[in-house]
Structures are given as C-alpha cells and as structure tokens.
Structure 1
C-alpha cells in the first residue's frame, strides 16, 4: 500500500511518461506520507471517453486517487495531497497553460478489515488482511 490510480483526459497537451512521473511521486510521497518505496502500486489511464461541463474539448482533467489504509492524521493526508499535486502540476504544466484544466488529488482511506490480498510465495488460500 498505497495504490495510486491516475486518470487524465486524452486532450492533455504534455507527453506523459508514467515511469518518470510515478518515480517522482513515489519518492515525494515516501517522505510526505511515511510510505516505503517498494509498497507503491501505481497505474495511469488515459481517458478517451469523457465529458466535462459543456463538452468543450478545451477543458481537461487530471485526477490522482491515492488509496491507503485509514489512520493517517489529517495533516499527513493534506501533505500527501499537496505533494502529489505539486508533482502533477509540473508534469502537466503545458496542459494547465493551454486548456482549462483541473488537476486534483484525493486520498481514499481503505478499511483494513475489508481489504484482503495474497502475495507471491504465499500458499494459495492464505490471503491476509493487510
């Protein structure tokens, strides 16, 4: 944990290199949120089908959902969001300049009791709550 899910509209102007952007976000959030680098699981999805407001193609969006277990203080959650937002603002700078763009970050807290996983090397059927 954490899981990062990044969605962005297909009219984003910046060339997007997920490996570069996630490397920067992982490093920054490890400090801001107290995460271990090896625990990040991140993915990015370019959204070709979407609607914003009146449908103008000059409107764009970037949204990062940071999914982590509950228990971080409000100050830590705010630091995570602001840190990720700063990285995304740099990564999508041209899109911010050339379109009406909203970049947002949200923290989704997961309930440990309702989360299960299994890992490589574990015996089948030994999924554990994390």
Structure 2
C-alpha cells in the first residue's frame, strides 16, 4: 500500500522532470526492501493555483506525501523517508540554485480498517 503523491507548483513544468522524479522515488521506495513491487504507486500532480511565501512569481514547491500501511518500525519509516528525501533532493538539486524553491516530504500510516483496496497486479507479479 505504499502510495506516493507529489504535488508541485505548475511553474515547475519545463523546469523539472516530474516523470523522472516519479521513477527516482519509485526506485528509492523499492530499494528499502520494505515494500512489495506490486503495491508501489507514485504520481505527480501539478497545482495550477497556489500562493507561496511572499508570492514572488519564481517561488516553487514540491510536496511529497507517502502513505503506507502499518507494520514498519519507527527506524524503518525514518530510513525510508531519508532515502526518499535524498532521491528527491538529488533529482531536484538544480532548483536550489535560486532562493525560490521548497521541498517537503511526509510519511503517514493508513488505518487498515478504514482503507479498501482491490489489486489485480499482485497476483501477476507474484506469479500466481
């Protein structure tokens, strides 16, 4: 159930490779060994409307939200966040060349009793 949603200011279109960021984060998530490949989802959504800090037109952001099911230790969650944040930071490093960019990441656990899923990908990847 690891779902990674990236919200970003639309003024980054043409300045940052969001498909590449999705791929980098997917690889980072899988590199931890904590998540099954068939469950990983990474998506990026441009925000057309936003107001950032002093509203300078060059201000931009990437906000990463990573939702996971319960069952990992605090250390495993922290390590996952560090790996993901490093991958995002490396991929977006050029945006820090100006004083107008903000990057954030948050990990949240999903309550299994309040989450419904049906996945036909798992059986295929598990060879069932």
Task: Structure 1: give runs of 5+ residues left out of the alignment.
Answer: 122-130
Task: Structure 2: give runs of 5+ residues left out of the alignment.
Answer: 122-128
TM-score, structure 2 normalization: 0.82
Displaced runs of 4 or more, over 3 A: none
Q: CA deviation at 1:120?
A: 4.0
Aligned to 1:124: none
CA contact (8 A) 1:27 1:37 kept: no
Aligned to 2:76: 76
Matched, 1:103 2:103: yes
Structure 1: how far apart are the matches of 2:108 and 2:33?
13
Change in Cα spacing, 1:47 to 1:59, as seen in structure 2 (3 Å) is same
Normalized per residue, the structure richer in strand is 1
Root mean square deviation, CA, Å:
2.0
Q: What is the aligned residue count?
A: 120
TM-score, structure 1 normalization: 0.80
Normalized per residue, the structure richer in helix is 2
